[in-house]
Structure formats: C-alpha cells, structure tokens
Amino acid sequence: MRIKSFINRKINLQLIKRKHDKLLLTLKHQNLYVLPSKLGWLFILFSILIFLLGSNYQNNLIILTSYILLSIVLVSVVQGYLNLSDTKIEFVSKQNNYLSAGYQVNLALSNPHKLHNLVIESEDSYPILCPVIDQNKTVLTLTVKPAQRGKYPLPRIKLYSRFPFGFVTVWSYVLYDQNVFVYPDPIAISFHRSNQTNDTGEGDLAITKGNDDFEGVKTFQKGDNFARISWKHYAKQHELMAKQFNNLVRKDVMFDLQLLPDNFETKLQYLSFLVTQAHQEEVRFGIKLPKTIIEPNQGFAHLTHCLEKISEA
C-alpha cells in the first residue's frame, strides 16, 4: 500500500510538471501519450514473424505483406493522436455523497473535430464510454466509490481511446487540487438520548396554536379563519364555533455521538441518519463529536457542514 501511494505521488508530480492540473486542459503533444495496446503488440509481433518468414524463404510478397501490416500500426498511431488532440477538458463540479452511492466528478468535454470512442476512468470508478464528442460541450459524470468514509483528494482521472483499430492506446490524465467528502451511510434509529434545549426549558415540545393536530373547538371570534368553522356544532347549537389545532414546535436538538449505541462506525451511521432526518423535518440541530461541536442551526449548508465533519471524525 505504501509503495502504491509512493508511486502515485511520483506520477502526480510528473503530471503537475506537464500542466495536467489545470481546470481547463487542452490536449496537445506535450500532454498526450501513445503506446501499442495488447492487441497492438500482438499485431506487431505477428507482422515481425511474417517478415522473418518472408526473409527466410526470400518471398517478396510475404515481406510486402509484413510492411503493409506494420504500416497499419503507424496509421493507427497518427489517427489515434489526431483523434484525441485538441480535446478540451473542463472541471465543472464535484458532489459529496454517501458511501454506498459514491461521490461524483462532473467534467465538460468538447473537440473541434469529432472525437471517437473516448473512455474516462479513475481508481475505484466504473469506466465511462462516450462514443462521440464534438464541438458542443458534453458533460460526463464519473462516479467514484471508495472503500470507506472520509475526506479524499480528487483522484487522478485517465482519458484514453483506442480509435481507430484498437492497436494503439492514446491517453492523458487530469488532476484537480480539490477535496471531496464521503459520508457514512445512514442507518435508521428510533431512539436517541440527545441534549435538547429551548427557551422555556420545559419538556421536549412547546405547544402553540397552529395547523397540525386537532385540539377542540372554541367560540368563533372576529378575525378567525372561516375555513375553521365547525358546521356540525352550528347545526346542533346554532352557534358559530371554530376548530382549534395544536402545532408542536420542536426544540433545538444537539446530537451527541457518545450517547449513541454500538461501535464507533455504527454511531457515525446513526448520526448521519439523524442529521439528515432533522434537516428534512426542518428541525434546528447541532452535533457533538469527540473533537468538534457544531451549534444548532438549519439549512442545506448546515447539513453539509455537519455531514463533512461526521465523515472526518
């Protein structure tokens, strides 16, 4: 593992020297690489054997055949390079996500002439095949699924094509100085001993007059909503009565990791579920981690901040 990390660092340093770390990269001769594919090496070996056979028997027709076969490889090199050359690769965005879904990297690609059979891949991702890319921007989403939660630098992304005959591989890399977060997969939990506070300091819920749960009826007063008139009571008593409801107002909630059951990783998964659920229910919440405390708040930015801290815990 250490050897692999060392090799990756060395490769990345060389790629940075060749300017592969630009947010908008145009592929040219200084950042494109060409080598025969496995099929190409077999084809070259076959061509050499044909040449040796023709030389041994002094058969000019067989020798000519070997020259033609080798010329096909040379044509593949030129055509393969021209196919990928002038391609523009632009970093669009990255998206944090849960571990099981994997995070996404969005790239926009374009080429003044048609680019054929492009493949994009990186470590821990499934390859993406794009048959044709033209001058119009094509946005591709690469999904990367690492082995565990955490904060990760964006991986080295490889783009390659074996157009036209599959005999040569023309490729390049892109690097981005960006980090992405992989959240623990949420596990539902029905009970949590959390620290909770509100302005009244009483109980779990404060009750105000609202629109949620039916409480009873009261005498209709000027300014009450006509939609709440209880016509059933009016028919019986000939008196206007208005329906009254309770609205349960939740307190600010502080989710404490130490109060959750099971092992540390499972605690984080429970916490991931709790903050996501609280956000969906528009509850103000905060979290308490071993090294971090985030005060109660709400909104998508707050949820993202909490999930990022949970993934790093």
Strand partners, 244: 216
pLDDT on residue 216: 67
In a domain, 10, yes or no: yes
The whole-angstrom distance between residue 302's C-alpha and the CA centroid of its chain comes to 19
Is residue 190 domain-resident? no
Average pLDDT over residues 65-82: 95
Other C-beta atoms within 10 Å of 135: how many? 11
139 and 249 housed in the same domain: no
Tell whether 189 is covered by a domain. Answer: no
Residue 98 structural domain: 2-182
Task: For residue 257, give every residue at least 6 positions away whose Cβ sits within 8 Å of its Cβ, in sequence order, or none.
Answer: 267, 268, 271, 287, 288, 289, 290, 313
Q: Return the H-helix or E-strand segment holding 214.
A: strand 205-219
In the chain, how many domains are there?
2
Distance between CA atoms of 293 and 288, rounded to whole angstroms?
Answer: 5
Between 280 and 110, where is the model more confident? 110
Do 101 and 213 have their domain in common? no
The Cα–Cα gap between 298 and 301 comes to: 8
Q: Are 173 and 14 in contact (CB under 8 A)?
A: no
Residue 191: predicted pLDDT: 44
Per-residue pLDDT, 207: 32
Residue 225 belongs to a domain: yes
Reduced to 3 states (helix: H, G, I; strand: E, B; else coil), residue 156 is coil
Same domain, residue pair 122 and 225: no
| Same domain assignment for residues 178 and 200 | no
Q: Same structural domain for residues 164 and 200?
A: no
What are 114-162's pLDDT values in tens digits?
999 999 999 889 999 999 999 999 999 999 999 999 999 999 999 999 9
Q: Are 119 and 128 in contact (CB under 8 A)?
A: yes
Neighbours of 310 (CB within 10 A): 25
| Averaged pLDDT, 87-113 | 95
CA 255 to chain centre: 26
- Summarised one tens digit per residue, pLDDT across range 255-277 is 999 988 889 999 999 999 999 98
Q: What percent of the chain has pLDDT over 90?
A: 65
> Based on the domain organization, do 200 and 126 belong to the same domain?
no
Q: 136, 161, 182 — which closes off a domain?
A: 182
Q: What's the confidence (pLDDT) of residue 214?
A: 56
For residue 188, being part of any structural domain is answered with: no
Q: What is the pLDDT of residue 211?
A: 47
Q: How far apart are CA 286 and CA 293, in angstroms?
A: 8
Whether residues 236 and 164 share a domain: the answer is: no
Which of residues 197 and 137 earns the better pLDDT score? 137
Report the pLDDT value the prediction gives residue 300, as an integer from 0 to 100.
Answer: 94
Q: Could you tell me if 214 and 282 lie in one domain? A: yes
> What pLDDT does 16 receive?
75
Q: Which of 182, 205, 236 is the last residue of a domain?
A: 182
What is the pLDDT averaged over residues 184-194? 72
Residue 22 sits in the same domain as residue 145:
yes
Residue 254 lies in a domain: yes
pLDDT at 171: 96
The pLDDT mean for the chain works out to 85
Write down the pLDDT at residue 209: 38
In a domain, 264, yes or no: yes
Per-residue pLDDT reduced to its tens digit, 200-258: 443 343 333 344 555 566 776 665 655 666 667 656 776 777 766 555 455 788 999 99
Residue 115 belongs to domain with CATH number: 2.60.40.3770
Whole-number Å distance between alpha carbons of 76 and 164: 6
Closest CA to 310 of 182, 220, 195, 154: 182
- For range 159-179, the mean pLDDT: 95
pLDDT value at residue 159? 96
Same domain, 33 and 156: yes
Assess whether 236 and 147 both reside in one domain: no
Residue 54, SS3?
A: helix
Compute the average pLDDT of residues 162-181.
95
In a domain, 187, yes or no: no
- pLDDT, residue 252, reads 84
Asked if the model's pLDDT at residue 294 lies above 50, the reply is yes
Lowest mean per-residue pLDDT among 49-63, 188-202, 209-223: 188-202
Same-domain status, 84 and 232: no
Paired tokens of 95:
């998206």
Select from 128, 151, 182 the last residue of a domain.
182
- The identity of residue 54, as a single letter, is G
Provide the percentage of residues in the chain whose pLDDT is more than 70: 82
